[in-house]
Structure 1
Amino acid sequence: MIWRLVVLVGVCVLFLGAESRTSRGGKTVSLRRTQHDDSQGQVSSRLRRDTSGSSSPTHGPPFTSCRLPLTSAEHKVLDDNTHETGFNGDDGSHVILTWVGDETGVILVLSTISVPLDSFLEGGSSRLYRSTDYGKSFNDISHRINHTFIREEFGVSVGPGNTVILTADTPVLNNPGGIIFTSTDAGATFKFIQLPFHLVQPITYNFLNPDYLVALSIDGSLWLSLDFGAMWTKVHDGVHSFSWGAGINLFFSCIRGDTEETDERGDLLLKRTKDLGKTFATIHEDIYSFGYIGAFLFFSVMEEPRSPRVMYFSSDQGDTFSRALLPSASTEQFYSILDGDEDMLFMHVDNPGDTYFGTMYTSDDRGILFSKSLERHLFDGQRKSDFTNITSLRGVYLTNKLDVDGRIRSVISFNRGGTWRPLNKPENVDCGDQVKNCNLHIHGEHSRNNRIVPMLALSEPSAIGLVIAHGTVGDSLSSSQHPDVFVSSDGGYNWRGTLRGPHHYSILDSGGLIVAVEAQFEGQVKTIKFSTDEGQCWKSYNFTEQPFFFAGLSSEPGTKALSVSVWGFRPEEDGQPMWVAVTIDFQSLVTRKCNDQDYEEWLAHSIQGDDSERKGCVLGAKEIYRRLKKPSVCRNGRGFTVSKKRSPCSCTREDYLCDYGYYRHVNTSECLRQPSAPNKTLEICLEGEEDELLTAGYRKVPSDRCEGGFNPQLAVQTVIRPCGAKPSPGPPRKSTSSVTHFDTPREKLVLILVCAGAAVIVLIAIVSAVIAVRRVVYRNRLPEYRFSNLRMHDEDNYITVDHESGTSSNGTSCHPDSDDELIECHT
C-alpha cells in the first residue's frame, strides 16, 4: 500500500506532512506543490482545547537537550556524499517517488502535469526517472513506457519482490480498456498491456504470489490475472468491493442476481472463491460491508431493510461465523477495526450522538467475545483515530481519550489493551507547581489532519524500544502549545524531550541513526539534524546552499539503509518550479561496523525499582533483547537482525480476561459474576442456536504465553439447544463454538465416558445440573449483550472500573465512512 502526500498547485509550501508507508516491496511518497494556508488548523471546535488564554501557540515547559557541533572533517565527508538532483519545472506539478524492491537501491520518480481537455476528459504528460544508487543519480526512462501519460491517482503500484505496475490515464469514451505497464525487474524494463476493462481502483496483489492480480472495473466487474497482468478473466459482475484472504481465498460483495442496476447497501451478497474464480460460495446475505485483517473475516449485516447493522466474524475464511458480542449502534454511529492479527482484534464502537468518542473493545481469539478495554476513546467527526501500534515492542499501544472535562489526554497500554495508564512526564521536563497532573500527551492522526503536527508517532520492529513522537507536556493535549519531539528508548515507559518544535523524522540503520528536518511554517529548508544515540544528542548539517520548500523526507523501506532523501522544490525565475531531491549518505560518516562490545542485553518491560520475580513479565513472557548501546557510534548494517531470548512466566490472574458475564474486581483482580448472571451457566443466541456455556469466569488473554501457576479450569463443554430467536434470512448458518457440538445427551455421555475416565461422575453431575436449569430466555427477542470489563486502572487508580455490565439495544454501523470501506479499517 502507498502513503501519499497530496499538495495543490500554488505559490509555495510552508507546512507539509510527509507520509511514508512501507508496503510489500516498496515505499511511495506523492508530492505536489501547495498554496500556503496561514491557519495551522485547530482541534475540532467541538473538542474543548486548553488555550491557556493564548491566541497563538506558545512553547510548553522548557527542556534541555544536547547539541553537538559538526567538525570540519565530518562536514567534508557529508559534502562528498551528498547528491542533489533537479527535475525541470516543465515536468509537471505532481511527483510520485517510489522505492522498489528490497536492498535494490532503485527509486522511481514519476513527474506528471494534467491538462483539462474538456469538461469530461483530462490529458497531460509524464516523465519517468529511475535511480539505481539510492537516489544519488537519476536517468530519464520515459521512452521505456513510450512517453505515455501515467495517471496521478494510483498511477504507480509497487508489489512484492521487484514488481511494479504503472496505470495509464486513458479516456474512457475513446478506448475499450485501460493500459498498464508491468515490470518484474524493478523498472529496468516494462511490458505494455492493453486491458479489456477500465480500472476504478488500484490493482491488488496477492499476498503470497505476485503473479496473482485482482482488479475492479468501472462497471463493477471483478477481473483476475494469474500471469502478472498478461491475460485477464472476468470472474463476476456486480461487485461492490473485494479482498484477498489467506492463501488464494478471494472475498467479494456483490449485488443479488435478480437485482437490476442497484447498489443498495445492506442488500449485497458476500461471496468467496477458493479456486481463483472457478467456483463460488455465498457466505452471507444482506451485507453492508466487509473486510479482512489478521486472520479474521468480518462483515456487517443489515438483517432487516433499513435496520441497524450487526457485526459478524469468522476466523476460518468464512467456513463458520458468528455474530460478535458487541453493542449495536444506530445508523449515525460506526464500528472501526483499529488493529488486528491472528490472535485478536481491537474494535472501536462509536457512542451515540456527536460525542467524538466511543468505547474500545478487544476480542478473543475467535472474534466473538469482546471485552471492554477503554472508555471515551477519541474518534473525531472526520473518522480519525489516534490509535497507534508501537511496533518496536510487543504489546504496546498508544491512543488518546476525551475525558469528561472535555480535554484530550494520552494513555498507553503495555499489555495489548488490558490496562491503560497516562504517559510518564519526560525526565528532562518540569511542568511547574501550577500544573496538577504533569504528563506527556502525544499528538495523533487527529492533530496531523488539522496540521498541528506533520507526522505521527514513529516506531519500527527492527529498532527495539525506540519511539519518536510529537507531544505536549501538561495536564492535557494542547493545541495552544507548539508540539515538540519526544523520544522513548524503552517502548513508551520513559520519555525525554529532544527537539523543539515540529519536525519530519525518520529511523535509519535499525535505530542506529535518527534524522530530522524542521517543519517550516514560513520559509525554506536546508538543514538536516541527525543523532546516533536515540535522540540524546544532535548534530546539524546544511545539505544544500540553495534552500527549497520542503515536501518530503524519504528513506528505503525496512530502516536498514543509512541514506535519506529530502524532497522539495524551488521557484524559478520563469515561474516554473524546479523539483529537487537531495540524497545524503551517512554510511560514509558512520563507517565502523558494530561488534559484540557495542551491544547490551535489555529486559523489555522492566520497570526501574521492580525486583520481583515477575519483572519484565508481559503477556506471560519475559523477553531479553540484544540491542545497541546508546554511546556506540557504529553501523548495525543490512545484515542486522533482532535477537531476543524469551522465557515463559508463571500464570496469574493478570494473564486472564474476565469471560462473558464476569467483571474484574478493582482491588483483588478476581473475576466476579455480574449481578445479572444467576449462576455460571450463560446463554447466548448465535446463528439461530442457543449456546449454553460453562465457564469459571476467566479466559486467557490472546497471545499470552504464561505457563503453570494460576489455573482457573476453564469450561470444557458447550450444550446446544434450538434458539427461540428468529434467525435472519440467508443461507444456512454455521456454528462456531470452539468445542465439538453434540445433539443428544447420549452422545454427550459417551464422550464423557471415553474422555473423562475417572472424572465421569463429576462431569455427569455438571451436565445434569446444566440441563436441569430451565431458564426461559431469548424466546421472542434477540439476546441482551453483557460485557465484562478489563481491569482498567494503574497504580494511582487513574481509570476506575465500571462494575455494571454494559448493555445496548440499538443498531450498528462500521468505520470508515460509516461502513463504506471496512477493508480500509486502520490496517
Structure 2
Amino acid sequence: MRLYLPGVVKMRFCWALLCSSLRNLRHFPAVMRDPGHLHMPTMTPRLVLLLAACLVACTCVSGQKVSVTEVSVDSAVEDIKWGGADHSVVLLKTIKGRLYRSTDSGKQWYDITNSLVLSETEPGAPATAITVDSMLINPVDKNIVLVVGTKHSHFISNDAGRTWRRLKQRVPIHSWQFHPTQPHWALLSAWSDQCHTASEPAKTAAGGAVTDKACNHMLYVTKDLGVYFHLVSSYVNVDFAVTEDFGRSHRVLIHHTNKFLISNGYTFVTKSEDEAKQTVALMVSTDGGKTFEKAKLPFELSEKSYTVLDTSEGAVMLHVNHGDEGRSGSGDVYISDHKGLRYSLSLPSNVRTTTGETEFDRVLSLEGVYLANFKDDPEAEGALFTAAVEKKTEDKAAEHQEEEVSQTAVY
C-alpha cells in the first residue's frame, strides 16, 4: 500500500490545508466517526487525487514548489487517529493489524508494531508482536492511547505511542470507555471465559464435577490507566441505569435497552419494542437523562437499528436501518428538530454496512456541509416519498380533527 504525502512546504497554510483535508474529507465515500478519527476500509485512488488537489492548491497560493514523498505500508489503511498535545502525532492501522506512527503530521512513518510485544511464555522463546484490532485516543489527554489486541493482550501509552505498557487485565475487550473528565479513569467491559467456550464441552473442576459458571458480561473500572482493575458488576443486564458509586447502587432509567450514546447534550438509548419483529425504538433525552421521549419518524416503518451521524449542528442526523430486504445495504437518513424528537426524511438509500457503518461524513471545516453516498433506487425513493406524503396527510387530518373538537368544547 502506498501513500503520497508532501515534503517540506514553506507556508504553514499549505500543510494545514492538507492535514485538514485528510481529517475532514478523508476518502469518498466515507464512514462517519468522531472528530479526529479517520476510519477507512481501503485507501482509494480518490484520496491520492485529493492529496494532489491540495498540493496544487498550495502551490498556487504559495508560488513555491512542493515535493511528494511515497510511503509504503504492508496493506490497505483501515484506521487513522490524530494524537499528541498539538495533534502532530498520527497513528495508522492497516487491515493486517500493523501499527504505524508519525510524529510530523504524516510526513514520515515508522512501523511500531514490534514495540507491542508479548512477554516470553517459556525460557528461550522469542517475544512475539500482537495483531492490532483497534486503537482509541483519550478525549481528555491526547497523549493517552489504547491499543486493543485481537486476543488477550492490550497496550496503553502515556506519550502518544512513543512507549507502551501492557494492561494487566488479560481478557478480550468488548468495549472500553474513557472518563469524559478524568484522563486516568476508564470502564472496561468483557465477556467471561465461558462465553468464548460455549461451543466446546463444559470444563470440569477438580474431581470431575462440572462447573456452573455461566456466560456473563463483566464490567471493570480502573483509575490508573489499567494498572489495577476493580470489578463493578459480574453480570451486566440490559437496563439503562445510572450509578454514582461505581456499582454499589444504581437507578434504572429505561428497561430492556440495547445501546446508548451521549453526544453534544443529547442522550440516545435504543429500547426493544417488539421482540417478535425484532424492532427497536429510539429514546432521546436533552436534560442529562432526567426525562426521555421516543423519537418520532415521519412514517411507520420497522426500525432495526440506528446510527447517529452527527449532533453538532443543533439537530440530529440519524441513519435508520429499516430492515427492508429489497434495499439491503442501505438505510435512510433523517434530520431532527432541535430536541432530536421529530424527524423528516433527508436522504433515502444511504449506503451502510452490516456492522452499522454508513457512507456519510461531515466536513469539519465547513459548517453544515456533509458528504454522503446513496444507492440510486428510484422505486424505493418514490415509495418512501409516497409514504411520507400519506403520513403527513394523516397527521394534518388528525390535527385538524383535534382543533375542531377543541373549538366545539370551547363554544
TM-score bin, normalised by smaller chain: 0.5 to 0.7
CA distance in 2, matches of 1:351, 1:182: 39
Greater helix content: 2
CA distance in 2, matches of 1:386, 1:30: 11
Match of residue 242, structure 2, among 272, 287, 293: 272
2:154 aligned with 1:180:
yes
Cα displacement (A) at 1:211: 1.7
Deviations 1:748-778 (A, max 9, x none): xxxxxxxxxxxxxxxxxxxxx789469xxxx
Aligned to 1:158: 137
Match of residue 389, structure 1, among 362, 375, 389: 362
Aligned to 2:225: 228
Amino acid at match of 1:222: L
Aligned to 2:191: 218
Are 1:163 and 1:184, in contact at CA under 8 Å, matched by a contact in 2? yes
CA distance in 1, matches of 2:273, 2:34: 37
Amino acid at match of 1:377: P
Q: Give the direction of change, closer, same or farther, for the CA distance of 1:198–1:682 in structure 2 (3 Å limit).
A: farther
Q: Give the direction of change, closer, same or farther, for the CA distance of 1:288–1:773 in structure 2 (3 Å limit).
A: farther
Deviations 1:146-203 (A, max 9, x none): 655222322x333342112233455xxxxxxx343322112233233311x5123353
Q: Give the direction of change, closer, same or farther, for the CA distance of 1:300–1:771 in structure 2 (3 Å limit).
A: farther
Q: Give the direction of change, closer, same or farther, for the CA distance of 1:298–1:157 in structure 2 (3 Å limit).
A: closer
Q: Within 5 A, what are the aligned runs for 1:228-267?
A: 228-239=225-236, 254=237
CA distance in 2, matches of 1:110, 1:401: 27
CA distance in 1, matches of 2:398, 2:29: 52
Are 1:131 and 1:139, in contact at CA under 8 Å, matched by a contact in 2? no
Q: Within 5 A, what are the aligned runs for 1:671-690?
A: 674-678=396-400
Amino acid at match of 2:272: M
Bigger relative contact order, structure 1 or 2 (CA pairs below 8 A, ≥6 apart): 1
Aligned to 2:178: 205
Q: Give the direction of change, closer, same or farther, for the CA distance of 1:378–1:401 in structure 2 (3 Å limit).
A: same
Q: Within 5 A, what are the aligned runs for 1:310-349?
A: 310-326=281-297, 327-330=299-302, 335-341=306-312, 343-348=314-319
Aligned to 1:760: none
CA distance in 1, matches of 2:95, 2:274: 48
Are 1:182 and 1:192, in contact at CA under 8 Å, matched by a contact in 2? yes
Amino acid at match of 2:251: A
CA distance in 2, matches of 1:338, 1:408: 20
What 5-or-longer segments of structure 2 have no aligned partner? 4-26, 45-55, 119-126, 193-216, 383-390
Cα displacement (A) at 1:217: 1.0
Cα displacement (A) at 1:144: 7.5
Cα displacement (A) at 1:304: 5.8
Deviations 1:412-439 (A, max 9, x none): xxxxxxxxxxxxxxxxxxxxxxxxxxxx
Q: Give the direction of change, closer, same or farther, for the CA distance of 1:403–1:675 in structure 2 (3 Å limit).
A: farther
Q: Within 5 A, what are the aligned runs for 1:686-725?
A: none
Are 2:136 and 2:147, in contact at CA under 8 Å, matched by a contact in 1? yes
Cα displacement (A) at 1:222: 1.6
Are 1:358 and 1:377, in contact at CA under 8 Å, matched by a contact in 2? yes
Are 1:105 and 1:132, in contact at CA under 8 Å, matched by a contact in 2? yes
Q: Give the direction of change, closer, same or farther, for the CA distance of 1:209–1:676 in structure 2 (3 Å limit).
A: same
Q: Within 5 A, what are the aligned runs for 1:388-467?
A: 388-397=361-370, 405-406=378-379
Aligned to 1:453: none
Q: TM-score, normalised by structure 2?
A: 0.58
Q: Secondary structure at the match of 2:133?
A: coil
CA distance in 2, matches of 1:27, 1:298: 23
CA distance in 2, matches of 1:28, 1:358: 20
CA distance in 2, matches of 1:199, 1:214: 14
Aligned to 2:167: 193
Q: Within 5 A, what are the aligned runs for 1:428-577?
A: none
CA distance in 2, matches of 1:398, 1:17: 8
Amino acid at match of 1:345: V
CA distance in 2, matches of 1:228, 1:338: 29
Q: TM-score, normalised by structure 1?
A: 0.32
Deviations 1:761-806 (A, max 9, x none): xxxxxxxx789469xxxxxxxxxxxxxxxxxxxxxxxxxxxxxxxx
Deviations 1:623-655 (A, max 9, x none): xxxxxxxxxxxxxxxxxxxxxxxxxxxxxxxxx
Are 1:193 and 1:229, in contact at CA under 8 Å, matched by a contact in 2? yes
Aligned to 1:654: none
Percent identical: 21
CA distance in 2, matches of 1:365, 1:314: 12
Q: Give the direction of change, closer, same or farther, for the CA distance of 1:132–1:222 in structure 2 (3 Å limit).
A: same
CA distance in 2, matches of 1:382, 1:97: 19
2:283 aligned with 1:302:
no
Higher mean C-alpha displacement, 358-367 vs 398-407:
398-407
Aligned to 1:259: none
Q: Give the direction of change, closer, same or farther, for the CA distance of 1:401–1:234 in structure 2 (3 Å limit).
A: same
Aligned to 1:121: none
Q: Within 5 A, what are the aligned runs for 1:73-88?
A: 78=66
Amino acid at match of 1:188: R
Cα displacement (A) at 1:404: 7.7
Q: Secondary structure at the match of 1:283?
A: strand
Q: Give the direction of change, closer, same or farther, for the CA distance of 1:28–1:205 in structure 2 (3 Å limit).
A: farther
Q: Give the direction of change, closer, same or farther, for the CA distance of 1:389–1:78 in structure 2 (3 Å limit).
A: closer
Amino acid at match of 2:133: E
Amino acid at match of 2:132: E
Aligned to 2:210: none
Deviations 1:384-407 (A, max 9, x none): 755443444333445577788559
What 5-or-longer segments of structure 1 have no aligned partner? 6-15, 35-66, 115-125, 171-177, 240-253, 255-267, 410-660, 664-672, 684-768, 775-827
CA distance in 1, matches of 2:87, 2:280: 47
Cα displacement (A) at 1:26: 6.5
Q: Secondary structure at the match of 1:677?
A: helix
Q: Within 5 A, what are the aligned runs for 1:740-751?
A: none
CA distance in 2, matches of 1:20, 1:358: 14
CA distance in 2, matches of 1:314, 1:24: 22
CA distance in 1, matches of 2:349, 2:309: 12
Q: Secondary structure at the match of 2:132?
A: coil
CA distance in 2, matches of 1:148, 1:367: 48
Are 2:92 and 2:100, in contact at CA under 8 Å, matched by a contact in 1? yes
Match of residue 84, structure 2, among 87, 101, 111: 101
Deviations 1:431-454 (A, max 9, x none): xxxxxxxxxxxxxxxxxxxxxxxx
Aligned to 1:364: 337
Greater Rg by CA: 1
CA distance in 2, matches of 1:365, 1:165: 34
Amino acid at match of 1:283: L
Deviations 1:85-135 (A, max 9, x none): 677xxxx76877654324364345678979xxxxxxxxxxx7x76543444
Q: Give the direction of change, closer, same or farther, for the CA distance of 1:399–1:162 in structure 2 (3 Å limit).
A: closer
Q: Within 5 A, what are the aligned runs for 1:573-592?
A: none
Cα displacement (A) at 1:28: 7.1
Match of residue 257, structure 2, among 287, 306, 318: 287
Q: Secondary structure at the match of 1:167?
A: strand
Q: Within 5 A, what are the aligned runs for 1:619-698?
A: 674-678=396-400
Cα displacement (A) at 1:213: 1.5
CA distance in 2, matches of 1:351, 1:205: 32
CA distance in 2, matches of 1:100, 1:314: 31
Amino acid at match of 2:89: V
CA distance in 2, matches of 1:406, 1:224: 50
Q: Give the direction of change, closer, same or farther, for the CA distance of 1:188–1:306 in structure 2 (3 Å limit).
A: same
Cα displacement (A) at 1:305: 4.6
CA distance in 2, matches of 1:93, 1:205: 29
